[in-house]
A and B are shown apart, each in its own frame.
Chain A
Amino acid sequence: DGGITQSPKYLFRKEGQNVTLSCEQNLNHDAMYWYRQDPGQGLRLIYYSQIVNDFQKGDIAEGYSVSREKKESFPLTVTSAQKNPTAFYLCASSIAEETQYFGPGTRLLVL
């Protein structure tokens, strides 16, 4: 089945640690996105990529990094510079500016 997968479902981060969240899609979509959702809030855009080997900062990119080496994959690294990383992270993909489809999300918690 075509779709978007994210792993892990839950992730625990220690102080000062970098962690990487995985996002894979087999929909053959060119564009991929990372969003952050805090409790009771809407989603906010962290980074997006419209083509392989290219990505742009979203509205809240500080403390995060991404790579786009393959069309199918868009991993997000939460660095130690992100002082408040506890949140629900959602990955999405789309064909250009058409409908975005979302993965099941990763919940990141700080120990």
Chain B
Amino acid sequence: GIQVEQSPPDLILQEGANSTLRCNFSDSVNNLQWFHQNPWGQLINLFYIPSGTKQNGRLSATTVATERYSLLYISSSQTTDSGVYFCAVLGYRGTSYGKLTFGQGTILTVHP
């Protein structure tokens, strides 16, 4: 099945810093989503972005489907941005078709 790798696994920032999270995937995908998991476990949708660039406030995301990667940018980070960020892709073919496969996540800690 499709493989999803996220980097870095851990990231520690001071409040106000910018960061870039990366998601690489091993095959063509029908869609790609970025999520933020808060300390209570709730998964919050950030972006649905199979290709192109989207922005939502301090967050933006870019997916280059032909090169099989996506980037999540966080600008002017705040302590409330802390948590785990997941990338998930919906497979295009074979055993991955129709299934959302998650990466292992990036743990972000923002210090005041």
A39 to B35, CA, bound (A): 17
A101 to B44, CA, bound (A): 8
Partner of A105, one of B42, B102, B105: B42
Q: Which residue of A lies closest to B103 (CB)?
A: A42
A92 to B45, CA, bound (A): 11
> Does B40 contact A98, Cβ atoms closer than 8 Å?
no
A76 to B88, CA, bound (A): 22
A101 to B45, CA, bound (A): 7
Q: In the assembled complex, which residues on chain B have CB atoms less than 8 Å from the CB atom of A33?
A: 100
**Mask: chain B, 29-67; 1 = CB below 8 Å from A; 0 = not:** 011010100001111010010000000000000000000
Decide yes or no: A99 and B48 within 8 Å by CB, A104-B40, A104-B41, A105-B41 being known contacts.
yes
Enumerate A10-67 residues with CB–CB distance to B below 8 Å: 33, 35, 37, 41-45, 48, 50, 58-59
How many residues of A sit at the interface, in one of the four size bands? 20 to 34
Q: Which residue of A lies closest to B86 (CB)?
A: A42
A92 to chain B, nearest CB (A): 8
Q: How many residues of B contact A (CB 8 A)?
A: 23
> Does B104 contact A99, Cβ atoms closer than 8 Å?
no
A99 to B41, CA, bound (A): 19
> Does B99 contact A59, Cβ atoms closer than 8 Å?
yes
Decide yes or no: A43 and B86 within 8 Å by CB, A97-B30, A98-B48 being known contacts.
yes
Q: Which residue of B lies closest to A99 (CB)?
A: B48
A41 to B41, CA, bound (A): 12
A47 to chain B, nearest CB (A): 11
A41 to B33, CA, bound (A): 17
Q: In the assembled complex, which residues on chain B have CB atoms less than 8 Å from the CB atom of A45?
A: 99-101
B83 to chain A, nearest CB (A): 13
**Mask: chain A, 77-111; 1 = CB below 8 Å from B; 0 = not:** 00000000000101010000111111011010000
Query: 12 A-B contacts, Cβ less than 8 Å apart?
Result: A35-B102, A41-B104, A42-B103, A43-B102, A45-B100, A48-B99, A59-B1, A90-B41, A97-B31, A97-B90, A105-B41, A105-B42
